[in-house]
Amino acid sequence: MSTMRKMGWMSLLLVAAMAVGCTRDFNLTFRNLTRNPVDVALDGPARSEDVGTIGPAREMRFELKIKENYLPEPWTIQAGKLTRKFTFTKDTPTELWINIQEESIVGPLGKDDVVKESTKKSGSVKVIENQPVLKGDKPVMPPEGGGKTTEKGTIIKQEPVIE
């Protein structure tokens, strides 16, 4: 009878564990790489989590618990005016890093993920007239009536420079 009683208790514990479900703990490290404090929040399908305000050049750790039977589960990071959507899956590492930059959120990143830095560059074309050509191709003026004229000037033929 004691064996039956033990099996009954074990069955009851197993049913209780299945009803509660196992949770997966995700340890998130938010890095504020901006010059200003940023308010950070997480929005999931059933709840929202307020991470807090992260000062400039600071980081904050946050633990998020998700029941495994809810995975995959979509979430959104809100950092100031920026948002980034991502999905937690059963394969998602439990240690993740999120970089908050001036114009974007990068991550979540695992410990072995590599971020290639990219920079947006903007520029303008500056026309300098009456400057000698030192190297490269020497411009040759088109014959009278030749060449193509646009609103910015005449397009001319280029020939190699003979030194």
Inside any domain, residue 31: yes
Residue 97 neighbours by CB distance under 10 Å: 19
Q: What is the dihedral of CA 127, 133, 138, 143, to 10 degrees?
A: 60
Question: Three-state SS for 57?
Answer: coil
Pair (138, 62) in one structural domain: no
Same domain assignment for residues 90 and 155 = no
CA distances from 76 to 83, 98, 109, 161 (A): 7, 12, 15, 58
The whole-angstrom separation of Cα 16 and Cα 63 is 24
| pLDDT at site 111 | 80
122 or 104, which is more confident? 104
What is the span of the domain harbouring residue 76?
A: 21-109
Same domain, 41 and 102: yes
Q: What's the total number of domains in the chain? A: 2
Encode pLDDT of 28-77 as tens digits: 999 999 999 999 999 999 899 999 999 999 999 999 999 999 999 999 99
Report how far residue 30's alpha carbon sits from residue 19's, in angstroms, rounded to the nearest whole number: 32
Asked if 72 and 139 sit in the same domain, the reply is no
